[in-house]
Amino acid sequence: MLNVIKNAVRVSALRCIHSTAPQATEKFDHKRIPADDEGVQGEKIVDLDSVLKLKQNIFPTLESDSLLFGGVPYKDLPICNIRVTHNNTVFTVTDSAGLVKLTRSCGMEGFKNTKKGTNIAAQTTAISIATRALDKGFKTVRVRVRGLGPGRLSAVKGLQMGGLDIVSITDNTYVSWNPPRPRKARRL
Amino acid sequence: MHLTIKLLANRHPSFIARTVFVKNNDVDDACRLVNRILGKEGILEQYRLTRYYEKPFQTRRRVNHEKCKAIYNEDMERKIQFVLRKNRHEPFPGCH
């Protein structure tokens, strides 16, 4: 009888001891920390040097202007400019001098309002302009991308899916380190 | 010669700067490489920071936050390296 009571006391005493730390009563205020930007795909990968060592001839050099792609020197290849924004994606195909031959945007493709800024819209527009470009006789192009947005990667991919041969990808995003004062911040 | 003129005329000549050739029709890879380079050079960060005006108090707060984060990350990295170190003189310290 005494033993039973003793055991019960011991068990109840043991119950009081917590093996884990008590949980915080106050929840952490996540609003104070600025949210991480979702970024562009592949941006956050840090290990760059090993990749660059593996691959050769991926960057233009002195001779790259006269490199032949499908019998045409690199500098004379037509250009496909892609303007990517949060709300739209605009494609223009120009000749090597910069004369515009074709223009197509997600809005022209039938996407309206916020749907214009999606990656699916960018991809379908890219495929449609690729077929048009092929009709006009542009087969091998160099791509120049400007701006950040959801359609950035899928636009270039869509051009390839449409049947164009992409020789090179250039970024032409305008970035200034001493810009004029930008517009005031959005209130969220 | 052509390149020299190009470089003299423009500090960021198109199709020379920020350009990657596509190898083996692997557009995805080339895109990612461009993005990675832009990210590492801080170009994308600068682009995002200059979309909207950042008030001085926000700049101060951001910089302070970055400093704190860097210190924390450095110490945490050291701690992780300490815990994960191999060939320890005493394999399980304090566990006799």
Per residue of chain A (188 residues), what is the pLDDT tens digit? 556 556 555 555 555 565 666 565 556 555 555 554 444 666 666 666 666 667 677 888 878 888 888 888 988 999 999 999 999 999 999 998 889 999 999 999 899 988 898 889 999 999 999 999 999 999 999 999 999 888 888 999 999 999 999 999 999 899 999 999 999 998 88
Is the CB of residue B67 less than 8 Å away from at least one CB of chain A?
Answer: no
Residue B94 located in a structural domain: no
Residue B9 located in a structural domain: yes
**Residue ranges making up the domain that contains B39:** 1-52
Residue B79 located in a structural domain: yes
Residue A143 CA, distance from chain mean position: 15
Which among B16, B34, B50 has the least Cβ separation from residue A176? B50
ipTM of the complex: 0.72
User: Is A40's CB within 8 Å of B16's CB?
Assistant: no
Is the CB of residue B48 less than 8 Å away from at least one CB of chain A?
Answer: yes
Residue B27 located in a structural domain: yes
Are residues B47 and B57 both part of a single domain?
no
The pLDDT assigned to B56 comes to 95
Residue A7 buriedness (CB in 10 A; 0-12 / 13-18 / 19+): exposed
Which among A45, A172, A184 has the least Cβ separation from residue B14? A172
User: Is A168's CB within 8 Å of B44's CB?
Assistant: no
Are residues B2 and B47 both part of a single domain?
yes
A121: which DSSP letter?
A: H
Q: What is the bridge-based pairing of β-strands A140-146 and A165-171?
A: parallel
- How far apart, in whole angstroms, are the C-alpha atoms of residue B49 and residue B59? 10
Are residues B43 and B7 both part of a single domain?
yes
- Give the pair of three-digit tokens for residue A95: 């000749």
Are residues B79 and B62 both part of a single domain?
yes
Are residues B9 and B47 both part of a single domain?
yes
**Chain B partners within 8 Å of A173 (Cβ):** 38, 43-44, 47
- Distance (Å) from the C-alpha of residue B70 to the closest C-alpha of chain A? 14
Are residues B45 and B74 both part of a single domain?
no
The pLDDT assigned to B3 comes to 59
Is the CB of residue B40 less than 8 Å away from at least one CB of chain A?
Answer: yes
- Distance (Å) from the C-alpha of residue B13 to the closest C-alpha of chain A? 10
User: Is A166's CB within 8 Å of B21's CB?
Assistant: no
Are residues B26 and B57 both part of a single domain?
no
User: Of A98, A142, A100, A150, nearest to A125 (Cα)?
Assistant: A150
Residue B95 located in a structural domain: no
Are residues B28 and B73 both part of a single domain?
no
Are residues B48 and B78 both part of a single domain?
no
Are residues B21 and B45 both part of a single domain?
yes
**Chain B partners within 8 Å of A181 (Cβ):** 53
The pLDDT assigned to A39 comes to 47
Report the number of distinct structural domains present in chain B.
2
Residue B93 located in a structural domain: no
Q: Rounded to 5 degrees, what angle do the CA atoms A94, A164, A104 make? A: 50
* Contacts of A6 by beta carbon, 8 Å cutoff, 6+ apart: none
**Chain B partners within 8 Å of A72 (Cβ):** none
Size of interface A-B (CB pairs under 8 A): 130
Where do the domains of chain A lie?
Answer: 65-171
Are residues B43 and B60 both part of a single domain?
no
| A65-171: CATH number | 3.30.420.80
Q: Which residues of A160-180 are buried (b: 16+ CB within 10 A; e: fewer)?
A: bebebbbbbbbbbbebeeeee
Residue B90 located in a structural domain: no
**Chain B partners within 8 Å of A179 (Cβ):** 50
Are residues B6 and B35 both part of a single domain?
yes
